Every structure is written in structure tokens, then in C-alpha cells.
């Protein structure tokens, strides 16, 4: 029933996502605004696919200026 109401689309972590993650990690490190290694991969995947990022951990992910962060209420 859940999948009927909320169909899921699994995104792969490929070359484009990993390259974006590496560039993002380098840019954040240069500004001393690090985020976790897994978080940068998830963030890069959202950016590559033009997705909003839904999280309760907005403080960390708002360090990425081009990421659209959504905090559920």
C-alpha cells in the first residue's frame, strides 16, 4: 500500500554524481564549511537530478548554496 501511495524511484550513484560530490567537497573544504562524506554524496545526487532536499538537519545542508533544502513541519 505504501508504494502505491508513494512510489519510489531509486537513483544510482554514478560518475556524474561522484564528480559533483568531489567538486562540492573541495569547494566546501576551501571555505572551511565541511559536511559529512556520505552527506556530500547524497547532496551531489540531489543536485545532479535537480531535486529538492528534504531533511531535519538543515544546518548542515544549508552550507551548500545551490541546494534547495526543505524542512518538513
Domains (range + CATH), the chain? 15-70 (3.40.50.1010)
Q: Please report the DSSP string for 31-72 in residue order.
A: TT----HHHHHHHHHHHHTT--EE-S-HHHHTTSTT--EE--
pLDDT, position 2: 67
Looking at residue 1, its pLDDT comes to 61
The whole-number average pLDDT for the span 55-70 is 92
Instruction: Give the pLDDT confidence of 9-59 residue by residue, as tens digits.
Output: 888 899 999 999 999 999 999 999 999 999 999 999 999 999 999 999 899
What pLDDT score was predicted for residue 4?
A: 76
| pLDDT at residue 10 in the model | 84
CB atoms within 10 A of CB 57: 13
Instruction: Decide if 72 contacts 55 (C-beta within 8 A).
Output: no
pTM: 0.84
Amino acid at each position: 500500500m505504501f508504494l502505491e501511495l508513494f512510489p519510489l524511484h531509486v537513483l544510482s550513484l554514478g560518475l556524474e554524481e561522484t564528480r559533483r560530490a568531489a567538486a562540492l567537497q573541495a569547494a566546501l573544504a576551501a571555505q572551511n564549511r565541511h559536511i559529512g562524506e556520505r552527506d556530500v554524496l547524497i547532496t551531489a545526487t540531489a543536485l545532479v537530478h535537480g531535486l529538492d532536499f528534504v531533511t531535519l538537519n538543515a544546518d548542515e545542508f544549508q552550507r551548500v548554496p545551490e541546494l534547495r533544502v526543505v524542512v518538513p513541519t
